[in-house]
Structure 1
Protein backbone atom coordinates (compact mmCIF):
# COMPACT_ATOMS: atom_id res chain seq x y z
CA UNK A 1 0.00 0.00 0.00
CA UNK A 2 2.83 2.40 0.84
CA UNK A 3 4.43 1.82 -2.56
CA UNK A 4 1.19 2.56 -4.42
CA UNK A 5 0.38 5.68 -2.43
CA UNK A 6 3.95 6.86 -2.97
CA UNK A 7 3.56 6.38 -6.70
CA UNK A 8 0.38 8.44 -6.95
CA UNK A 9 1.35 11.13 -4.41
CA UNK A 10 2.97 13.46 -6.99
CA UNK A 11 -0.37 13.60 -8.84
CA UNK A 12 -1.91 15.57 -5.96
CA UNK A 13 -0.64 19.03 -5.04
CA UNK A 14 -1.93 19.01 -1.46
CA UNK A 15 -1.18 16.63 1.41
CA UNK A 16 -4.86 16.26 2.37
CA UNK A 17 -5.70 15.12 -1.17
CA UNK A 18 -2.89 12.57 -1.08
CA UNK A 19 -4.26 11.29 2.23
CA UNK A 20 -7.79 11.09 0.84
CA UNK A 21 -6.57 9.24 -2.26
CA UNK A 22 -4.80 6.72 -0.02
CA UNK A 23 -7.96 6.27 2.06
CA UNK A 24 -10.02 5.78 -1.10
CA UNK A 25 -7.67 3.05 -2.33
CA UNK A 26 -7.72 1.34 1.09
CA UNK A 27 -11.51 1.37 1.00
CA UNK A 28 -11.59 -0.09 -2.51
CA UNK A 29 -9.30 -2.92 -1.43
CA UNK A 30 -11.36 -3.87 1.62
CA UNK A 31 -13.43 -6.99 1.01
CA UNK A 32 -17.17 -6.55 1.19
CA UNK A 33 -17.34 -2.81 0.53
CA UNK A 34 -20.16 -1.69 -1.73
CA UNK A 35 -18.02 0.73 -3.75
CA UNK A 36 -19.94 3.87 -2.80
CA UNK A 37 -18.34 6.72 -0.84
CA UNK A 38 -20.18 5.88 2.40
CA UNK A 39 -18.93 2.30 2.56
CA UNK A 40 -15.44 3.24 1.31
CA UNK A 41 -15.19 5.98 3.95
CA UNK A 42 -16.26 3.57 6.69
CA UNK A 43 -13.77 0.96 5.50
CA UNK A 44 -11.02 3.61 5.57
CA UNK A 45 -12.00 4.68 9.09
CA UNK A 46 -13.79 7.94 8.25
CA UNK A 47 -17.07 8.85 9.94
CA UNK A 48 -18.47 10.54 6.83
CA UNK A 49 -17.85 10.31 3.08
CA UNK A 50 -17.30 14.01 2.41
CA UNK A 51 -13.52 13.86 1.96
CA UNK A 52 -13.77 11.01 -0.54
CA UNK A 53 -16.65 12.70 -2.36
CA UNK A 54 -14.55 15.86 -2.71
CA UNK A 55 -11.63 13.80 -3.98
CA UNK A 56 -13.78 12.29 -6.72
CA UNK A 57 -15.83 15.32 -7.69
CA UNK A 58 -13.90 18.48 -7.00
CA UNK A 59 -10.24 17.93 -6.17
CA UNK A 60 -7.59 19.14 -8.57
CA UNK A 61 -5.40 16.26 -9.68
CA UNK A 62 -3.93 14.73 -12.80
CA UNK A 63 -6.48 11.93 -13.21
CA UNK A 64 -4.82 10.50 -16.31
CA UNK A 65 -1.48 10.29 -14.53
CA UNK A 66 -3.09 8.59 -11.50
CA UNK A 67 -4.73 6.05 -13.82
CA UNK A 68 -1.46 5.35 -15.64
CA UNK A 69 0.53 4.94 -12.42
CA UNK A 70 -2.04 2.59 -10.86
CA UNK A 71 -2.24 0.57 -14.08
CA UNK A 72 1.55 0.19 -14.19
CA UNK A 73 1.64 -0.78 -10.51
CA UNK A 74 -1.02 -3.46 -11.01
CA UNK A 75 0.60 -4.81 -14.17
CA UNK A 76 4.00 -5.01 -12.46
CA UNK A 77 2.64 -6.82 -9.41
CA UNK A 78 0.49 -9.23 -11.39
CA UNK A 79 3.55 -10.22 -13.40
CA UNK A 80 1.95 -9.43 -16.77
CA UNK A 81 4.25 -8.54 -19.66
CA UNK A 82 1.86 -5.82 -20.73
CA UNK A 83 -1.69 -4.59 -20.40
CA UNK A 84 -4.14 -4.71 -23.30
CA UNK A 85 -6.30 -1.60 -23.35
CA UNK A 86 -9.33 -1.02 -25.54
CA UNK A 87 -9.58 2.62 -26.57
CA UNK A 88 -12.56 3.35 -28.78
CA UNK A 89 -11.83 7.09 -28.76
CA UNK A 90 -8.35 6.82 -30.24
CA UNK A 91 -7.15 9.36 -27.65
CA UNK A 92 -5.07 7.02 -25.48
CA UNK A 93 -1.34 7.48 -25.76
CA UNK A 94 1.34 5.00 -24.78
CA UNK A 95 2.21 5.63 -21.14
CA UNK A 96 5.28 4.96 -19.01
CA UNK A 97 4.58 1.24 -18.60
CA UNK A 98 4.32 -1.37 -21.30
CA UNK A 99 0.77 -1.55 -22.57
CA UNK A 100 -0.84 -2.05 -25.92
CA UNK A 101 -3.64 0.08 -27.29
CA UNK A 102 -5.97 -1.93 -29.50
CA UNK A 103 -9.13 -1.79 -31.53
CA UNK A 104 -12.31 -3.63 -30.57
CA UNK A 105 -11.47 -6.32 -33.14
CA UNK A 106 -8.04 -6.87 -31.56
CA UNK A 107 -9.62 -7.01 -28.11
CA UNK A 108 -12.11 -9.69 -29.22
CA UNK A 109 -9.28 -11.70 -30.80
CA UNK A 110 -7.20 -11.47 -27.60
CA UNK A 111 -10.15 -12.58 -25.48
CA UNK A 112 -10.70 -15.54 -27.80
CA UNK A 113 -7.08 -16.61 -27.40
CA UNK A 114 -7.45 -16.72 -23.63
Structure 2
Protein backbone atom coordinates (compact mmCIF):
# COMPACT_ATOMS: atom_id res chain seq x y z
CA UNK A 1 0.00 0.00 0.00
CA UNK A 2 1.34 3.37 -0.96
CA UNK A 3 0.47 5.06 2.34
CA UNK A 4 2.23 2.37 4.37
CA UNK A 5 5.34 2.72 2.19
CA UNK A 6 5.26 6.50 2.67
CA UNK A 7 5.12 6.40 6.48
CA UNK A 8 7.34 3.33 7.03
CA UNK A 9 10.60 5.33 7.21
CA UNK A 10 9.19 7.26 10.17
CA UNK A 11 9.26 4.15 12.35
CA UNK A 12 12.60 2.82 13.53
CA UNK A 13 11.30 -0.57 14.64
CA UNK A 14 9.68 -3.18 12.43
CA UNK A 15 6.74 -3.89 14.78
CA UNK A 16 5.23 -0.38 14.51
CA UNK A 17 5.79 -0.41 10.75
CA UNK A 18 3.87 -3.68 10.49
CA UNK A 19 1.09 -2.36 12.70
CA UNK A 20 0.77 0.79 10.57
CA UNK A 21 0.57 -1.34 7.43
CA UNK A 22 -2.09 -3.54 9.04
CA UNK A 23 -4.01 -0.48 10.21
CA UNK A 24 -4.04 0.96 6.70
CA UNK A 25 -5.23 -2.38 5.32
CA UNK A 26 -7.97 -2.60 7.94
CA UNK A 27 -9.45 0.84 7.34
CA UNK A 28 -10.17 -0.03 3.71
CA UNK A 29 -11.93 -3.29 4.65
CA UNK A 30 -15.66 -3.48 4.22
CA UNK A 31 -16.63 -3.59 7.92
CA UNK A 32 -19.98 -2.48 9.38
CA UNK A 33 -18.18 -0.20 11.84
CA UNK A 34 -14.60 1.00 11.94
CA UNK A 35 -13.25 1.41 15.44
CA UNK A 36 -10.12 -0.04 17.01
CA UNK A 37 -11.99 -3.08 18.35
CA UNK A 38 -13.53 -4.08 15.02
CA UNK A 39 -10.34 -3.34 13.10
CA UNK A 40 -8.25 -5.37 15.57
CA UNK A 41 -10.68 -8.29 15.37
CA UNK A 42 -10.58 -8.20 11.56
CA UNK A 43 -6.78 -8.31 11.70
CA UNK A 44 -6.77 -11.18 14.19
CA UNK A 45 -5.40 -9.17 17.10
CA UNK A 46 -6.60 -10.25 20.58
CA UNK A 47 -7.28 -6.63 21.61
CA UNK A 48 -7.15 -3.14 20.07
CA UNK A 49 -4.13 -2.03 22.12
CA UNK A 50 -1.63 -2.19 19.22
CA UNK A 51 -3.78 -0.01 17.00
CA UNK A 52 -4.53 2.37 19.86
CA UNK A 53 -0.81 2.66 20.62
CA UNK A 54 -0.06 3.56 17.00
CA UNK A 55 -2.84 6.15 16.86
CA UNK A 56 -2.19 7.71 20.26
CA UNK A 57 1.56 7.68 20.62
CA UNK A 58 3.73 6.17 17.94
CA UNK A 59 2.32 7.88 14.85
CA UNK A 60 2.35 11.45 16.21
CA UNK A 61 5.90 10.96 17.53
CA UNK A 62 7.05 9.52 14.22
CA UNK A 63 5.52 12.35 12.21
CA UNK A 64 7.18 14.90 14.46
CA UNK A 65 10.54 13.12 14.39
CA UNK A 66 10.64 12.68 10.62
CA UNK A 67 8.71 15.86 9.81
CA UNK A 68 6.19 14.01 7.69
CA UNK A 69 2.99 15.70 6.72
CA UNK A 70 -0.11 14.12 8.27
CA UNK A 71 -2.17 12.31 5.67
TM bucket (normalised to shorter chain) is 0.7 to 0.9
Where structure 1 has 5 or more consecutive residues not aligned to the other structure, the ranges are 69-114
Runs (4+) of structure 1 exceeding 6 A deviation are none
Note if contact 1:11-1:62 (Cα within 8 Å) is conserved in structure 2. Answer: yes
Give me the TM-score of the superposition, normalised by structure 1.
0.50
For the pair 1:61 / 2:62, whether they are aligned, the reply is yes
Deviation at 1:33? 4.5
Q: How many residues end up aligned between the 2 structures?
A: 67
Pair member with larger Rg: 1
Q: Which structure carries more strand by proportion? A: 1
Where structure 2 has 5 or more consecutive residues not aligned to the other structure, the ranges are none
Give me the TM-score of the superposition, normalised by structure 2.
0.75
- Secondary structure of the residue aligned to 1:46 is coil
